[in-house]
Amino acid sequence: MVALHDPLALRSGSVLPNRIAKAAMEENLAGAGQVPDDDLVALYRRWGSGGGGLLITGHVMVDARAAAQPADVVLEATTDLEPFRRWAAAAKAGGARVWMQVNHPGRVVQKDMATLTWSASDVPIGAGALSSMFPRPRAMGEREIAEAVARFATTAARAEAAGFDGVEVHAAHGYLISQFLSPNTNLRTDDWGGPLANRARFLLAVVDAVRAAVSPGFAVAVKLNSADFQRGGFDVDDAREVIGLLGDHAVDLVELSGGSIESLATSGTPSDGSTLAREAFFLEFADRLLGTAPMPLMLTGGIRRRAVAQRVLDSGVALVGVATALAMAPDLPARWLAGHEDAAPHPRSRIRHKAIAAAGTQALALRQLTRLAAGRDGVTRLPATAALLLSRLLRARARRRYHAWLAAHPAAVPAQAGEGRR
């Protein structure tokens, strides 16, 4: 039986010291110039000493013109690497490996941020009352697809140069790559649309370009929806086929998640039954994918108890991803590895509107991250409504700073897909 403390050897030759990973969260903590600052470095130093074998960063944007949030980190061809070197070194100081999650939001960019809103097709976001916050995207042409692929590769190569041990390509949660994968958002009739093999071409092109841009020992992973929980959308059978395709493209690991801004799976909607389902949202989907997956799978979504983490490993999943629980208890992996049954508290919101409640819960988690970065212990007592209001005020300040920076930011030309290979 695989235990939480067992190491995990990956195809690239990289070895994770144990089976607990800090999964990506939307940290919204970029400093001036959209780079990691002292707060983000301090936060990852704390997580790095918390016992997890792998830390995956919050998503880092590959294109300064397309940021999902105004306090997102951006890494392009001309970005100063020194802040990223400090970030990677802090994360690794306790012995963990650190991977940078790389992402392009595509159409998931709000109107007050939008300078570039691309997607597979010009399908607008359908999120009820929230839909009006997002502009209608523009379908990408061949040149724009090639540029986006090159940007992923450039960011990955620069992440390796900064000292990161790997990257995770974000192909889930309704962002750009996920928009190509879903038949609801990819209505193309060319070679990038139609059957799943065509819809997966963009993801495979990104993975191949990233692998060509980094050294053989650098880990390359993919975050993929097990399903997007929308009628006619990307489902578990699609996930099985894409995972099979990725097996031929030197991918070390696939992390399973689910949902998007149009279907907030991680707010509890797909798994409202048993305690296990509420604390391991996508385990039932993982069970349907394990038998055919040609690489190790990682499962993320709601895990906050040691018993649940072990149950996930017992199912055949190779790596347990923990996210919000580590905002509440950053040393939780060390406690689990020592055999304690500690559980992290869950941020709770009394807001009844589902989408706003999810935003409130996320705001509470973000508040926790700022507390951790400042060296504070314990869980915030701020109500979800107050945390949400504070997050909006901080976002407005970050948005003004982002637009001022972007106006003075020289256009970064992406490297060719093979550049940076060693």
Ranking 55-59, 171-175, 281-285, 368-372 by mean pLDDT, the lowest is 281-285
Does residue 323 have a pLDDT over 70? yes
pLDDT band at 278 (very low <50, low <70, confident <90, very high): very low
Segment 37-51, tens digit of pLDDT: 999 999 999 999 999
pLDDT value, residue 280: 59
pLDDT at 274: 39
Tokens of 135: 């502009």
Residue 405 vs residue 129, higher pLDDT: 405
- Average confidence (pLDDT) over 94-123: 95
Please give the Cα distance from 409 to 398 (Å, whole number): 16
pLDDT surpasses 80 at 264 = no
Ordered by where they begin, the domains of the chain are 8-408 (3.20.20.70)
State the pLDDT confidence band at 24, using cuts at 50, 70 and 90: very high
Q: What is the mean pLDDT of the chain?
A: 90
Q: By C-alpha distance, which of 202, 318, 178, 180 is closest to 252?
A: 318
pLDDT of residue 77: 96
Q: How confident is the model at residue 418 (pLDDT cuts 50, 70, 90)?
A: very low
Q: Report the C-alpha gap between 206 and 189 in whole angstroms.
A: 20
Q: What dihedral angle (degrees, nearest 10) is formed by the CA atoms of 276, 59, 186, 66?
A: 150
Taking only the tens place, the pLDDT of each residue in 188-238 is 999 999 999 999 999 999 999 999 999 999 999 999 998 777 778 899 999
- Amino acid at site 215: S
Res 146: pLDDT: 97
